[in-house]
Amino acid sequence: MRPLELFEGGAKSRKTKGVTLDPPLAKAAIVEYLKVLKAFNVFLDYEGHKPITPIKPVGSTTHLEKDYDEKVGEPYGDIDYQVQFPLEHFQKYGDERLAATAQKRLYENLLKEFLNSQQPDNVDVPETLNGSPLMIIMKLPTGEHVQIDTIVTFPQTTDWMKVRYGPERGIKGYMMGNLYKAFGDYFTLVIGTEGVVGRKHQGRVVSSSRRKNVDHFRITKDPKTLFRDIAEWAARHSERQYTEHPDLTDNVGLDKESAIVKMAQGIRGVALTLEQSNVIPSAKKMLQQIHKDFTKLTRKSIDNKLKRGRYTFCR
């Protein structure tokens, strides 16, 4: 399943190469980025559209303020900034998905129009428009060019995204992402930008390889009850009586960030609950499978970073 709101595409401009993206430079780039979003909102108001709302840095820059205050010297690999786009409320998740896709496309085109017509001094417009304008190439007063990726969310998923894409400080974001993916893959679910979501064909949960005649469904978008919601869904889906294990009762979800120990404890609670509820034969085997997949995904992430020469130097 392809996530709707997240947009990350790597570096798209040669002008950003060789720039050491330490906390002071990242902070300066975000100051300029927020100026652009403020001007974009003026443009949106003039054109009769609702404003966007800057939320916070996510991904590797989640803890930028602390890193800046404590003078952390290790540079970031990139800057991701969560921005909420307006979207009306929908009863059905499928309707919400369609509307979100259309809204993202509309505002992306409006951003192109704004950049072309206003030509902001602190944006390298030609480089930004060479691809999605959501990846903005900022021109800093000190001369550096820095790319900031706009991570689009909507009111329905903003709180979820703060946690899902807010990794624990000191833990690389791909570690958290790989654990989410390994856990979701066990149930053929995606734990991504829209919450915990899946696809059904004729009542059976199917992978994203099946594209026709599927119904999208969402289990939860509340990080505070993430693990309990998945366990309850799995029990209902298997038509079993849900019996919660104390380990899950103590770790029903996540609060302010994706903390890797809390995630591991929550996943363990799910496994023990599903074993106790006779949904799966063995919690141990479930945990072994998730660990195996997590290890494989993490090795692939490290290999990719080593190939790009980024593992040692960037978060």
Where along the chain do its domains lie? 14-156, 173-307
How far is it, in rounded angstroms, from Cα 250 to Cα 265?
Answer: 9
Please say whether the beta carbons of 85 and 153 come within 8 A.
Answer: yes
Token pair, residue 45, equals 């108001």
pLDDT at 315 over 90: no
In sequence order, the β-bridge partners of residue 198 are 217
User: How many residues in the chain?
Assistant: 315
Q: What is the pLDDT of residue 73?
A: 67
Q: What is the pLDDT of residue 185?
A: 97
Q: What is the pLDDT of residue 264?
A: 96
Q: What is the mean pLDDT of residues 10-25?
A: 88
Which of the listed CATH numbers 3.30.1450, 1.10.3720, 3.30.460, 1.25.40 matches domain 14-156? 3.30.460
Q: What is the pLDDT of residue 68?
A: 92
How far is it, in rounded angstroms, from Cα 221 to Cα 191?
Answer: 9
How far is it, in rounded angstroms, from Cα 81 to Cα 151?
Answer: 6
Task: Give every CB contact of residue 57 below 8 A, 6+ residues apart in sequence.
Answer: 26, 30, 64, 79, 80, 81, 82
Count Cα neighbours of 139 within 13 Å in the Cβ-side half-sphere. 10
Global pTM value: 0.87
Higher pLDDT, 10 or 70: 70
Three-state DSSP class for 20?
coil
Quickly state the pLDDT bin for 2 (edges 50, 70, 90).
very low
- Under DSSP, the state recorded for 51 is P
Higher pLDDT, 60 or 308: 60
Q: What is the pLDDT of residue 171?
A: 86
Please say whether the beta carbons of 39 and 118 come within 8 A.
Answer: yes
